Amino acid sequence: MNISQEQWWQGAQDNENAVILDVRTEGEWNEGIIPGAINIDIYKGQGFIYKLDELDKSKKYYVYCRSGARSGQACNIMQQMGFENAFNLSGGIMEWNGPVVSPE
């Protein structure tokens, strides 16, 4: 589900079961992330699916990429896998006005 920055960030902050998921490449990840994000690269194909399988499907996932396209695909994949709450950041990190930090 595509949601606005405000809804996306508010939801990620308000819910203790929230997970911020960055589906970009490692190179993109190293350029800066939304605070608290974990990274699973959607371009890893089956590896991406394996990593998703390890996640708790009962949590709420706030997903982003560079422009919102890959994260939209990721949300669709997650829904097919039984994740009920996967929210796509419309516009991705390119249009993001919130905080960005260097990954640790």
> Cα-flanking dihedrals φ and ψ of residue 32, to 5°?
140, 145
Instruction: Give catalytic residues, as residue numbers.
Output: 65
Q: Angle 70-41-15 (CA atoms, 0-180°, nearest 5)?
A: 75
Strands (E), the chain: 2-3, 18-22, 38-39, 60-64, 86-89
What is the phi/psi pair of residue 22, to 5°?
A: -100, 120
